[in-house]
Amino acid sequence: MGKLVSVLLVVLFVNFCFGTTVYLRKGGTIEGEVISKDDEKFVLKTADGEKTLKWRSVKNKSIQEIYPELYEALKKQAIERKNKKEEKFAKKNEEEKEKKIDFSRIRLEVNSNESEGAFKKTNASRSSRNYKKESKGKLDIELSNLDPEKTYTLKTIYSHYIKEYKKSKPPKKEDSDITKKETLSGNNKYHFCYFSSPYYMYKFSLKSGVSFTGGNKKRHKYGDKGDGWDVSIWLNDTLIYEDIKGKNPVFHNRISH
């Protein structure tokens, strides 16, 4: 009877000394008595000796039992991180919604042509008169039915071709891949006009009684003339229009025109 009482007392003593069950995150448990702790770790006295464990290695319910103050602080930090993450996610969704455009509601008009000047006399002599004309390519872009509450970025890239008057030489790009960017906000309609670099035409005429050697032409023209465009237009980095010289213009993303 005395031996049985002694065994029971030993069991009760061990349970009293090592009455804390620590649940590990990777699985399993450790029995022992917490003898010290700080915000990074705690020391557990077990039947096999002292063990130092970091709080991140144990489950939340053990942290709550062993160090309630730390558990509440960590819980508060977790809630703050969650709220910040949700705010960031909501902000990102709002930004994506802001960027999304219903192109079918927006109307686009594009016209590319040549703005030709008039011949102006540059000099005259007893036998001839000389004239010069300055011209430019003209690109008109009009956007309407925009949402004035949104901000748009309009990007236009164009190349302008010219060729020599009455020559069989192929046209050349006078302005190659010129890029224009515009920020649109606060209005529902915008119009932009871009001009190419100037190009020139010349002519001269001979006075009465004067003729060229080997011919009788009294007037002559020479110089450059416009010969088409390459134009591409983006709205918020989405291609909405493309016009390649020699091909029909293409409107993309169901943009109205």
User: Tens digits of per-residue pLDDT, 199-230?
Assistant: 999 988 887 655 555 455 667 788 999 999 99
CA distance 154 to 180: 8
**CATH topology identical between 12-99 and 103-251:** no
Q: Is the whole model's pTM more than 0.75, yes or no?
A: no
- pLDDT, mean over the chain: 87
CA distance 10 to 16: 10
Domain 103-251: CATH architecture, name and number where available: Sandwich (2.60)
pLDDT > 80? residue 48: yes
Per-residue pLDDT band at 236 (split at 50, 70, 90): very high
Find out whether 54 and 41 touch, Cβ atoms under 8 Å.
Answer: yes
pLDDT > 50? residue 151: yes
Parse the chain into domains and list their residue ranges. Answer: 12-99, 103-251
Q: Look at 75-79, 179-183, 216-220 and tell me which has the smallest mean pLDDT.
A: 216-220
* 94, amino acid identity: E
**Per-residue pLDDT averaged across 135-149, rounded?**
96
Among 228, 255, 235, 60, which Cα is nearest to 156's? Answer: 235
Domain 12-99: CATH architecture, name and number where available: Roll (2.30)
DSSP for 219-252 reads EEEEEEEEEEEEEEEEETTEEEEEE-TTS--EE-
